[in-house]
Amino acid sequence: METQGKIKLTFLGTGTSIGVPVIACNCPICKSPDARDKRFRTSAMVSINNQNIVIDCGPDFRFQMLKQQVEDIDAVIFTHEHRDHIAGLDDVRAFNYILNKNIPIYGTHNVMEAIKTEFPYIFTETRFFGAPQVTINEIDNNRFSIGETSIMPVLVMHNKLPVFGYRFDGLTYITDASFIPDEEKHKIFNSKVLVINALRNSKHISHFSLSEALSLIEELKPERAYLTHISHFLGLHEEVEKKLPENVRLAYDNLVIEV
């Protein structure tokens, strides 16, 4: 991979599709006073080459931008079309108004078709007043660029649904995966940082469990790894962290790392 600028990764959200705490749940994790056990829906922001590139904007997008005091974004790239990853797109309107610019969005054809179905008012011939202003960029499983930033998609499977992870130089970010084909794993080797989903302790049809994620990390051998897309079934942050290998940590909302 070619060397680019220093990368800052901000974990905007590290929770599963219903977040943590879960509505109406009284389990110890959902009632935990530890801020690291409070998880918005999974999303991240990669700051590189003087650009802010958001990966997924789910239903918590507005709160995430306010929490991080983000004043500009240069693009949103989508991993896949599930609502917990696209439902916050309407809130890019604030950037349209204040910065007077369209926001480029990147994703597969299927992702873009889902967005058009979810937000039809964005794409009418006569633009609905106040609708988000976005520029569609369809991508496939080939390297693409946003400004000076080169990005390599990594095709993984979310049960039977194809999902893209993304590699930015030494950083590889993968969420909502249950299987990675051997031909895609070579894109991940030699990562300085690997972010990978670990939903819970027991096996799940469409997400890696903790043990599966740890086995994959051992196989791919990144220098460091962070676990994301975490449900309340995984356990308390403080207790789970004690059981992890030295180079593996649980990600948590608002964690910022450099690569």
pLDDT digits (tens, 9 = 90+) for 154-195: 999 999 999 999 999 999 999 999 999 999 999 999 999 999
CATH of domain 8-258: 3.60.15.10
**What is the rounded CA–CA span in Å between residue 144 and residue 183?**
19
pLDDT band at 77 (very low <50, low <70, confident <90, very high): very high
Average pLDDT, the chain: 96
Mean pLDDT, range 53-76, rounded to an integer = 98
What is the DSSP secondary structure assignment for residue 127, as one 8-state letter? Answer: P
pLDDT for res 2:
52
Domain ranges of the chain: 8-258
Tell me the pTM: 0.96
Q: What distance lies between CA 10 and its chain's CA centroid?
A: 10
AA letter at 205: I
Nearest of 230, 235, 198 to residue 32 by alpha carbon: 235
Q: How distant, in Å, are the alpha carbons of 46, 53, 91, 172, 181 from that of 185?
A: 21, 23, 34, 11, 7
**What is the rounded CA–CA span in Å between residue 253 and residue 14?**
6
Q: How distant, in Å, are the alpha carbons of 79, 167, 173 from that of 55?
A: 7, 12, 9
**Residue with token string 């499977």:** 157
Does pLDDT of 62 surpass 70?
A: yes
What proportion of the chain, given as a percentage, has pLDDT over 90?
95
For residue 117, report the phi and psi dihedrals to the nearest 5 degrees. -75, -40
Helix or strand holding residue 67 (H, E): helix 61-68
Assess contact for 30 and 196: CB atoms under 8 A.
no
